Amino acid sequence: MAPLEAASVTVEFAGLRALDDVSLTLGPGEILGLIGPNGSGKTTLVNAMTGQVPVAGGTISLGDAVLTGRTPREIAHAGVSRTFQIGRHFDNLTILENVATAALGKGAPVRVALERATALIEEFGLGRRLDDLAEVLSYGEKRRVEIARALAGEPHYLLLDEPAAGMNEEETESLIEILAMLPKDRGLGLLIIDHDMGLIMRLCERLHVLASGRTIAEGDRRTVRDDPAVIEAYLGSGSGDA
């Protein structure tokens, strides 16, 4: 599988530069952490990579296929899926049906879609709740259903926007276990946005740091963690002098 690549991506909202010349590569079977302070453009980058916001400059590609300017649906079909910071579910569909939609959207026959969805839901520890409506789930359960749903489309790359937000410690722990297995089991490339540095440090070998829409550091997690520019972006300038 070819890598998913964003090259010199720039996104503008009414003249305001939300992303400025950001380049990022995600390889198959890799977990990349995308971190940065609030408003640094992390979600915007994911939006751009999945076709939800238009890019003002740069290209997004999957191997030879250019994804820039394609619709979210075409990008999903190309093999790039995502989850949202605020979970979006089909509230009046059962959990099984929710997860199956992604497989159906990719053209899987209904029986295959339901089987695949059942297996995924069991893997995510919600096997007993297959026929419950999605609206009755707890917050943490909804996040898991959302990830399972994205996986049901059998993507090559999955972009997770704050998957652990709002989860308690126990739920976060089981999420980390599931996420850690995905690249190995499926050759899936994962990009994770999260503010929980514990989760990021445990899952990601490589980090990419944004601040004010620009890349300020990237590379191995230890190097990035100790980078003075990263510390400054998180803690604010002048903190070192105090």
Partner 1 sequence: MNPVQFVLDVLSLGGAYALMALGLVIVYGILRLVNFAYGELIMVSGYTMFLVSGSGLPWLAMAGCGVIMAIAAGIATDYLAFRPVRAKSVTAVLITSFAFSTLLQNAALLFISPRPRAVPLPELFSRTVEFAGVITPVRNLITIAVAVIMLGVFSWLMRSTALGIAMRAAATNFRMARMMGIPANLIISAAFAISGLLAGAVAILWIGRIGTVVPGIGLQPLLIAFIATVIGGMRSLPGAVVGGFLLALIDTALNYTLPQDLLKFRDAFTFSLVILILLWRPEGIVRGPASGQRT
Binding site residues, partner 1, CB under 8 A: 50, 71-73, 76-77, 88-93, 97-98, 100-102, 104-107, 109-110, 113, 135, 149, 153
Amino acid residing at 21: D
- 57 or 72: whose CB is closer to partner 1? 72
- 15 or 107: whose CB is closer to partner 1? 107
210 and 40 in contact (C-beta within 8 Å)? yes
Instruction: Give the nearest distance from C-beta 155 to partner 1 in angstroms.
Output: 10
Instruction: Give the nearest distance from C-beta 51 to partner 1 in angstroms.
Output: 9
- 93 or 180: whose CB is closer to partner 1? 93
Cα torsion at 77, 146, 28, 229 (round to 10°)?
Answer: 120
- 45 or 230: whose CB is closer to partner 1? 45
Instruction: Give the nearest distance from C-beta 162 to partner 1 in angstroms.
Output: 17
- 89 or 208: whose CB is closer to partner 1? 89
For residue 167, give Cα distances in angstroms to 174, 190, 237.
10, 19, 31
Instruction: Give the nearest distance from C-beta 81 to partner 1 in angstroms.
Output: 8
- 29 or 72: whose CB is closer to partner 1? 72
- Contacts (Cβ under 8 Å, ≥6 apart) of 241: none
Instruction: Give the nearest distance from C-beta 107 to partner 1 in angstroms.
Output: 8
Instruction: Give the nearest distance from C-beta 223 to partner 1 in angstroms.
Output: 35
Q: Is 70 exposed, middle or buried (0-12, 13-18, 19+ CB in 10 A)?
A: middle
